[in-house]
Amino acid sequence: MLKRGVSPLIATVLLVMIVVSIGAAVMVVIQGLSEEQIQTIEHQREVLKCSGEVDIQIVKVSSNYRLCKNTTEIVLQMENKGLLDIAAFDVLVIGDTIIRTENVGNKFSKGNFSTYAFTYNTTANPVKVAILPRIGGTAASTDAVVCEEQDLIFESEDLDSMITCATTGWPITSHVTAN
Protein backbone atom coordinates (compact mmCIF):
# COMPACT_ATOMS: atom_id res chain seq x y z
CA MET A 1 0.00 0.00 0.00
CA LEU A 2 1.08 3.50 -0.78
CA LYS A 3 1.25 5.78 2.18
CA ARG A 4 -0.12 9.23 1.53
CA GLY A 5 0.97 11.92 3.97
CA VAL A 6 3.88 13.94 5.09
CA SER A 7 6.84 12.28 6.67
CA PRO A 8 7.62 13.32 10.25
CA LEU A 9 10.93 14.91 9.17
CA ILE A 10 9.31 17.14 6.56
CA ALA A 11 6.50 18.04 8.97
CA THR A 12 9.06 19.08 11.60
CA VAL A 13 10.99 21.23 9.09
CA LEU A 14 7.79 22.92 7.91
CA LEU A 15 6.69 23.58 11.49
CA VAL A 16 10.07 25.13 12.38
CA MET A 17 9.95 27.36 9.27
CA ILE A 18 6.44 28.57 10.12
CA VAL A 19 7.39 29.36 13.73
CA VAL A 20 10.56 31.24 12.66
CA SER A 21 8.58 33.25 10.07
CA ILE A 22 5.94 34.25 12.62
CA GLY A 23 8.66 35.16 15.14
CA ALA A 24 10.45 37.36 12.60
CA ALA A 25 7.21 39.14 11.68
CA VAL A 26 6.42 39.80 15.36
CA MET A 27 9.94 41.21 15.93
CA VAL A 28 9.59 43.60 12.97
CA VAL A 29 6.26 44.90 14.31
CA ILE A 30 7.59 45.30 17.86
CA GLN A 31 10.73 47.08 16.66
CA GLY A 32 8.65 49.50 14.56
CA LEU A 33 6.38 50.30 17.50
CA SER A 34 9.36 50.83 19.78
CA GLU A 35 10.98 53.33 17.39
CA GLU A 36 7.72 55.28 17.11
CA GLN A 37 7.34 55.34 20.88
CA ILE A 38 10.94 56.51 21.33
CA GLN A 39 10.36 59.38 18.88
CA THR A 40 7.15 60.34 20.69
CA ILE A 41 8.90 60.29 24.05
CA GLU A 42 11.78 62.42 22.70
CA HIS A 43 9.33 64.99 21.34
CA GLN A 44 7.40 65.11 24.62
CA ARG A 45 10.66 65.60 26.51
CA GLU A 46 11.49 68.60 24.31
CA VAL A 47 8.01 70.04 24.88
CA LEU A 48 8.49 69.68 28.64
CA LYS A 49 11.78 71.54 28.33
CA CYS A 50 9.82 74.44 26.85
CA SER A 51 7.74 74.89 29.97
CA GLY A 52 10.54 74.61 32.50
CA GLU A 53 13.77 75.63 30.82
CA VAL A 54 12.88 78.39 28.35
CA ASP A 55 12.58 81.94 29.64
CA ILE A 56 12.98 84.94 27.34
CA GLN A 57 12.22 88.38 28.69
CA ILE A 58 12.18 91.88 27.30
CA VAL A 59 14.91 94.00 28.87
CA LYS A 60 13.64 96.62 31.30
CA VAL A 61 15.73 99.75 32.04
CA SER A 62 14.48 102.32 34.57
CA SER A 63 10.93 100.92 34.43
CA ASN A 64 10.90 101.18 30.61
CA TYR A 65 10.82 98.09 28.46
CA ARG A 66 13.24 98.05 25.55
CA LEU A 67 10.75 97.56 22.73
CA CYS A 68 9.62 99.82 19.95
CA LYS A 69 8.11 99.68 16.49
CA ASN A 70 8.53 101.16 13.07
CA THR A 71 6.09 100.87 10.20
CA THR A 72 7.06 97.29 9.36
CA GLU A 73 9.00 96.00 12.35
CA ILE A 74 8.97 95.40 16.07
CA VAL A 75 12.33 95.86 17.79
CA LEU A 76 13.01 94.07 21.07
CA GLN A 77 15.98 93.93 23.37
CA MET A 78 15.70 90.52 24.99
CA GLU A 79 17.47 88.46 27.59
CA ASN A 80 17.57 84.67 27.52
CA LYS A 81 17.15 83.84 31.22
CA GLY A 82 16.38 80.20 30.54
CA LEU A 83 18.54 77.11 30.78
CA LEU A 84 18.51 76.42 27.03
CA ASP A 85 19.76 78.13 23.90
CA ILE A 86 17.08 79.38 21.52
CA ALA A 87 17.74 78.02 18.01
CA ALA A 88 15.54 80.61 16.25
CA PHE A 89 12.10 82.20 16.44
CA ASP A 90 8.79 81.83 14.63
CA VAL A 91 6.85 85.02 13.96
CA LEU A 92 3.07 84.84 13.72
CA VAL A 93 1.25 87.91 12.38
CA ILE A 94 -2.55 87.83 12.62
CA GLY A 95 -4.60 90.43 10.80
CA ASP A 96 -6.47 90.40 7.49
CA THR A 97 -4.44 87.29 6.78
CA ILE A 98 -2.44 84.98 9.01
CA ILE A 99 1.25 84.84 8.23
CA ARG A 100 3.58 82.47 10.04
CA THR A 101 7.27 82.73 9.30
CA GLU A 102 9.48 79.99 10.71
CA ASN A 103 13.16 79.89 11.65
CA VAL A 104 13.70 83.63 11.96
CA GLY A 105 16.89 84.95 13.51
CA ASN A 106 20.03 83.37 14.82
CA LYS A 107 20.94 81.29 17.84
CA PHE A 108 20.18 83.12 21.09
CA SER A 109 22.46 81.64 23.75
CA LYS A 110 21.34 81.22 27.34
CA GLY A 111 22.36 84.06 29.63
CA ASN A 112 22.86 86.52 26.76
CA PHE A 113 21.21 89.77 25.70
CA SER A 114 20.34 90.52 22.09
CA THR A 115 18.44 93.04 20.01
CA TYR A 116 16.10 91.69 17.35
CA ALA A 117 14.19 93.68 14.77
CA PHE A 118 11.36 91.42 13.60
CA THR A 119 10.21 92.74 10.23
CA TYR A 120 6.73 91.74 9.10
CA ASN A 121 4.45 92.29 6.14
CA THR A 122 2.11 95.23 6.84
CA THR A 123 -0.44 94.20 4.22
CA ALA A 124 -1.90 91.92 6.89
CA ASN A 125 -2.98 94.97 8.98
CA PRO A 126 -1.71 93.22 12.10
CA VAL A 127 -3.89 93.06 15.20
CA LYS A 128 -1.67 90.50 16.91
CA VAL A 129 2.00 89.60 16.60
CA ALA A 130 3.43 86.58 18.42
CA ILE A 131 7.11 85.73 18.66
CA LEU A 132 7.69 82.07 19.54
CA PRO A 133 11.07 80.60 20.50
CA ARG A 134 12.37 77.36 18.94
CA ILE A 135 14.62 74.97 20.86
CA GLY A 136 16.60 71.94 19.82
CA GLY A 137 18.45 71.51 16.57
CA THR A 138 19.58 74.50 14.55
CA ALA A 139 17.65 77.41 13.08
CA ALA A 140 17.20 75.56 9.79
CA SER A 141 16.37 72.15 11.24
CA THR A 142 12.89 70.70 11.15
CA ASP A 143 13.33 68.79 14.41
CA ALA A 144 13.34 71.95 16.53
CA VAL A 145 10.41 72.31 18.93
CA VAL A 146 8.34 75.50 18.96
CA CYS A 147 7.63 76.65 22.52
CA GLU A 148 4.05 77.87 22.11
CA GLU A 149 3.56 78.65 25.80
CA GLN A 150 6.73 80.79 26.04
CA ASP A 151 5.77 83.24 23.32
CA LEU A 152 5.82 87.03 23.39
CA ILE A 153 2.41 88.32 22.26
CA PHE A 154 1.61 91.86 21.19
CA GLU A 155 -2.08 92.69 20.71
CA SER A 156 -3.30 95.65 18.61
CA GLU A 157 -3.44 97.99 21.63
CA ASP A 158 0.17 97.02 22.47
CA LEU A 159 1.22 97.70 18.89
CA ASP A 160 -0.60 101.05 18.87
CA SER A 161 0.96 102.21 22.14
CA MET A 162 4.56 101.28 21.30
CA ILE A 163 6.95 104.17 20.84
CA THR A 164 8.67 104.58 17.50
CA CYS A 165 12.21 103.31 17.31
CA ALA A 166 13.58 106.64 16.07
CA THR A 167 12.82 108.17 19.47
CA THR A 168 14.43 105.49 21.66
CA GLY A 169 18.10 106.42 21.49
CA TRP A 170 19.26 102.82 21.91
CA PRO A 171 21.06 100.97 19.11
CA ILE A 172 19.32 98.51 16.83
CA THR A 173 21.90 96.06 15.54
CA SER A 174 20.20 92.83 14.47
CA HIS A 175 17.56 92.65 11.74
CA VAL A 176 15.61 89.53 10.92
CA THR A 177 12.80 89.35 8.40
CA ALA A 178 9.40 87.72 8.66
CA ASN A 179 7.35 88.06 5.48
**What is the pLDDT at residue 124?**
62
Domain assignment of residue 10, yes or no: no
Whether the predicted pLDDT of 27 surpasses 70: yes
pLDDT band at 16 (very low <50, low <70, confident <90, very high): very high
Whether the predicted pLDDT of 179 surpasses 50: no
pLDDT band at 122 (very low <50, low <70, confident <90, very high): low
What percent of the chain stands above pLDDT 70?
86
pLDDT band at 140 (very low <50, low <70, confident <90, very high): low
Question: The domain that contains 147 carries what CATH number?
Answer: 2.60.40
Q: E strands, the chain, where? A: 56-58, 60-61, 64-65, 67-69, 73-80, 88-94, 98-104, 113-119, 128-135, 145-146, 152-155, 175-177
Domain assignment of residue 94, yes or no: yes
Domain assignment of residue 165, yes or no: yes
Domain assignment of residue 40, yes or no: no
Domain assignment of residue 106, yes or no: yes
Query: Which range among 18-32, 35-49, 148-162 has the greatest average pLDDT?
Result: 18-32
Domain assignment of residue 17, yes or no: no
Q: What is the dihedral of CA 165, 167, 171, 175, to 10 degrees?
A: 10
Determine the structural domain holding residue 104 and report its residue range: 54-177
Domain assignment of residue 154, yes or no: yes
